[in-house]
Chains A and B, each alone.
Chain A
């Protein structure tokens, strides 16, 4: 009698196996990868439909869609990895529009030879982040490219959300007299990545702040405060985000350096590498512009949330035809906080 079991498919080898071209060819190997890895990790009713696209019940109201491509070196860093980052980043882009994030679509570009074990760690981390956020990954795609044509894994995620009728947040709504709030310390993500890349070790390790901000944002919106703009200062840091808003709204801004929270270890790492924390990427922070009269209650609500404990008012909005973002330095002088020139971090998020 034969010892071969009928219908037996050898499971994916997550210990030793690597991605090969057949995992992207549309054949059985690809079906197996989807079934044993992606479908198993992301399991939800929409994915279970098994079709080319997800059929979704559309709620009434205005929708927001946002997409984000994630390429980061290293793929795993203190505080997270490209997997959870790809969920958090897109949820945050949807949430800062004032929307409740509902669904995510994810597409993977995998490099031939990439270890299946690492891919599983990344996908499991994505699935955990999606579950924790309550935002399921409802559809996806996978492509494999030859060795040398990608850097391990690239993940593009697209998020969809719905904005309540009474919420209107936009980068062109900042007005003279408004206040600028920040939800917490600057530069944690960027310096966590840099310290890994440059092999810098500090007494206290720098941990990425990667996090989904929709819970914090919901708590902020619930206060009824007059919030004009929300934005997450990722690439280019707070400096870039505020310059974008200043230009969009046609206003100037004045920051107070001494009010801007930066962890001592992050400040030290920046000093060491000659970087300015204002330009370093964040993945779990937001800047809010609100009416001056609502600052106290908004700050109180932010500080009540775990992701807003260090929230602070860091500046004000002014009339300025040149749309300069300026800063009063702790030293007692003043300077411009300009757009980032060139690329400090070629590939960070």
Chain B
């Protein structure tokens, strides 16, 4: 497949792995966090971890939009669909996020709620046009990548005079989450969690550019390498991070030059700032309240803001007590160090945020890597081509 296979080439991977192995100093360990779920997924699906030397460890960060959506926000959406009778539209993965009372959007749908999976905000506008007598709400989730399309939908609805469309906004911001992690006492004060650098987001950075990360590099002395979502991108980024660490540099480097510029997509940014403003604080599943980490609809577009339109008030709901997602998202614990991982908490029956989407740290480890938790009982050298 053109434009994809080139970035998944096993031979190139081997030689890159060799280079990383030579450059990584055996005398020390390297811990890098890939912020994005897209990177986590690529690392797990292609087995990137197997190609890295033992002293290079990847920490799976909180950049999985479905995973960080707290129970209380899903409860609001379920309330709208079940009690207010709206048509609730959202992106696929969101349907499975566990909410209160054993519900999820998928389960609410089975109980008669009109919940529809859409591929874009424009599908939601179409549904609103087709059902002028129904109220249609778009449950908007995601980082900076999915925010511009939501802004565009609101502007278009306003232009068309669409009266039955609104947005339940849960858009969150990448830089605030990274700050939150860097400010956590484990990283900042105690140094119990070694964090030597970040692999910066791919798609998010196409929108916001590489400039916002310069602050982390400078203020926290952490190198950042922005990388594409293909496995070779990840390998190349790891090599660049290892070099920065070895040379004592802390800079923002861009591996994903084929799509990311320093300034990003200015048009998308201006769309977003026209429609949205910063929330003072927002709850992230696993991280808790994070200041200035999310967006809400500006007062000028109040009629398209489901929170105002339906007078919704947010009620926080705590996660399962045994769940270690918070520690896992900050790199303090590994999935298998959580007591309920793989027993009570599985992808079929997720308790915590990291198990919800295949991009979450626990789900990725469960789905792709849990064989590593057991001592090898047989030699698994491949005989498939013998």
Contact = CB atoms under 8 A, between A and B. Distances in A.
Nearest to A267: B1
Nearest to B376: A320
A324 B371 contact: yes
B384 A333 contact: no
Given A254-B380, A320-B377, A331 B10 contact: yes
Given A259-B385, A331-B47, A331-B51, A322 B374 contact: yes
In this complex, the member of A258, A271, A329 whose beta carbon has the largest number of chain B beta carbons within 10 angstroms is: A329
B378 A320 contact: yes
In this complex, the member of A314, A316, A335 whose beta carbon has the largest number of chain B beta carbons within 10 angstroms is: A335
A264 B3 CA distance: 12
A238 to B, nearest CB: 14
A338 B371 CA distance: 11
A242 B377 CA distance: 20
Given A254-B380, A313-B384, A341 B348 contact: yes
Contacts of A332: 10, 13-14, 17, 47, 50-51
B49 interface: yes
A334 interface: yes
A336 B378 contact: no
Contacts of B383: 254, 316
A342 interface: yes
A331 B47 CA distance: 7
Contact of B348 (A258, A319, A334, A342): A342
A313 B44 CA distance: 24
Interface string B342-386: 000001100000000010000100111111001001101011110
Given A258-B10, A332-B10, A334-B47, A316 B347 contact: no
Contacts of A330: 8, 10, 46
A254 B384 contact: yes
A198 B358 CA distance: 22
Given A198-B119, A268-B1, A271-B1, A318 B46 contact: no
A341 B51 CA distance: 27
B231 A331 contact: yes
B47 A271 contact: no
A315 interface: yes
A4 interface: no
A331 B13 CA distance: 7
Contacts of B348: 341-342
A268 B367 CA distance: 23
B48 A331 contact: yes
B101 interface: no
B233 to A, nearest CB: 12
Could you say which interface size class chain B belongs to?
35 or more
A306 B170 CA distance: 52
Contacts of B367: 336, 338, 341
Interface string B298-341: 00000000000000000000000000000000000000000000
A315 B386 CA distance: 10
Given A254-B380, A271-B1, A329 B96 contact: no
B384 A256 contact: yes
A328 interface: yes
Interface residues of A, number: 35
Nearest to A276: B45
Given A198-B119, A332-B14, A326 B45 contact: no
Contacts of B363: 341
A321 interface: yes
Contacts of A326: 371, 380
A104 interface: no
B134 to A, nearest CB: 17
A331 B8 contact: yes
Contact of A316 (B13, B369, B374, B382): B382
Contacts of B14: 332
B384 A331 contact: no
A342 B48 contact: no
A25 to B, nearest CB: 30
A132 to B, nearest CB: 34
Nearest to B368: A335
A336 B51 contact: no
Contacts of B50: 332-334
A320 B384 CA distance: 16
B369 A335 contact: yes
Contact of A336 (B1, B96, B358, B370): B370
Contacts of A267: 1, 4
Interface of A: 198, 252, 254-256, 258-259, 264, 267-268, 271, 276, 313-316, 318-322, 324, 326, 328-336, 338, 341-342
The 9 closest A-B pairs by CB, nearest first: A333-B47, A256-B384, A333-B50, A341-B347, A331-B46, A335-B368, A329-B47, A332-B10, A316-B383
Given A320-B378, A330-B8, 13 more contacts: A267-B4, A315-B384, A331-B8, A333-B50, A333-B51, A334-B50, A336-B369, A336-B370, A341-B358, A341-B363, A341-B367, A342-B106, A342-B348
13 contacts: A254-B380, A256-B384, A259-B385, A267-B1, A315-B384, A322-B374, A324-B371, A328-B382, A329-B45, A331-B48, A332-B47, A332-B51, A336-B369
